Amino acid sequence: MDVPKISVYESDRVVNVNISTIKNALRDISRIYGVPIRDYEFTLEHETYEGMRHIPHQGFIEGETKRIHLPKTTNLSVVLHEAAHYFMLSRDIPFEFGKGEGLYFHLIEETLVELTVADILTYRFPSMVDFIGDHRQIPSKVLKQRLKSKDPSERFVLRQRFLEDALLAENNDEFDRIKKESDDDISQLFSLGKEKHEIGLRKIVATIALSNSSQLYKRSIPARRLFYEITKDVLKLGVHDFYFLRLIPLVRGCRIQVS
């Protein structure tokens, strides 16, 4: 098979996508997480789902029908990515989230998925982040200038650096202030209409999750550990607190006391 022209993974390659390809990916994911292999029931579709035509992507999962949508040929990393999402769905991972927490659910899951693929295929450029650039690597002065952007999805991503700094400094007032500004960014994004807000949300999740996973990868934190932390603590803490009190300290290499 051909080698992909662009990939963030050392061992990526182009593959023909069929049922066996996906089952092999699920076996690799089970090995990475250290859990028994199951018989998985899913349907593979090569046609683009009509409701997603406005969003650029190579694959996705229809949760209710357990349909995996992938092209007939694509990068192995894409297959593993969608298989990891399906794995979470098939295992009934106990995510429960209240109003306003859905974005953090997606950030947690997408971070685990990205880290899982990296553990299997090995990151080539651990700090490479699509779309906007890694907000954790941009100088503060530049970030503040870019916060003037008219794109609410970009502003949301950039604000996360300052939100995390306030969290780790235990500056609750500053954290609450920036969190409100972030929430306002999301509200503005939703006001732009269905297509624009869906594209914006995917950009937010992809950018932050890839940054999260690359930082965890550089800190030698394996996907197995994050999988264990999610299954053990996400219900106990809740999605929002798990993201900020468990995941972000792991990403940033810091500790936060959780009462």
Question: Is 46 a member of any domain?
Answer: yes
Same domain, yes or no: 83 and 153: no
Structural domain of 18: 14-90
Mean pLDDT (whole number) for 212-233: 93
Please check whether residues 51 and 146 belong to one and the same domain.
Answer: no
What is the SS3 assignment for 188? Answer: helix
> Does residue 236 share a domain with residue 124?
yes
Same domain, 39 and 152: no
Q: Determine the pLDDT at residue 116.
A: 97
Model-wide pTM > 0.85: yes
**Residues 18 and 44 sit within 8 Å (Cβ to Cβ):** yes
In a domain, 147, yes or no: yes
Inter-CA distances, 245 with 76, 142, 152, 239, 242, Å: 33, 27, 25, 10, 5
What average pLDDT does this structure show over 18-38? Answer: 93
140 falls within a domain: yes
Is 103 part of a structural domain of the chain?
A: no
Beta bridge mates, 9: 123
Whether residue 247 sits in one domain with residue 145? yes
| Helix/strand/coil for 44 | strand
pLDDT of residue 97: 46
Rg value, the chain, Cα:
18
Each residue's pLDDT tens digit, 170-196? 999 999 999 999 999 999 999 999 888
Residue 198 contacts residue 96 (beta carbons within 8 Å): no
Of the candidate ranges 25-29, 38-42, 63-67, 75-79, the one whose mean pLDDT is the lowest = 63-67
Distance, in Å, from the CA atom of 166 to the CA atom of 129, rounded to the nearest integer, reads 23
| Spatial separation of the C-alpha atoms in residues 56 and 87, rounded to whole Å | 23
Q: How confident is the model at residue 120 (pLDDT cuts 50, 70, 90)?
A: very high
pLDDT at 43: 86
Q: What is the pLDDT of residue 194?
A: 87
Q: Which residues pair with 59 in a beta bridge?
A: none
How many Å apart are CA 116 and CA 143, to the nearest integer? 29
Report the C-alpha gap between 30 and 34 in whole angstroms: 6
Distance (Å, rounded) from C-alpha 45 to C-alpha 49? 9
Question: What is the rounded average pLDDT of the residues 49-75?
Answer: 70
| 56 band by pLDDT with thresholds 50, 70 and 90 | very low
More confident residue, 56 or 86: 86
Residue 66: its pLDDT value, please?
78
Confidence of residue 2 (pLDDT cuts 50, 70, 90): low
Q: Is residue 14 a contact partner of residue 2, using CB atoms and an 8 Å limit?
A: yes
- Please state whether beta strands 43-45 and 67-69 pair in parallel, antiparallel, or not at all (unpaired): parallel
What integer pLDDT is reported at residue 225 of this predicted model? 96
The total number of structural domains in the chain stands at 2
- Would residue 194 count as lying in a domain? yes
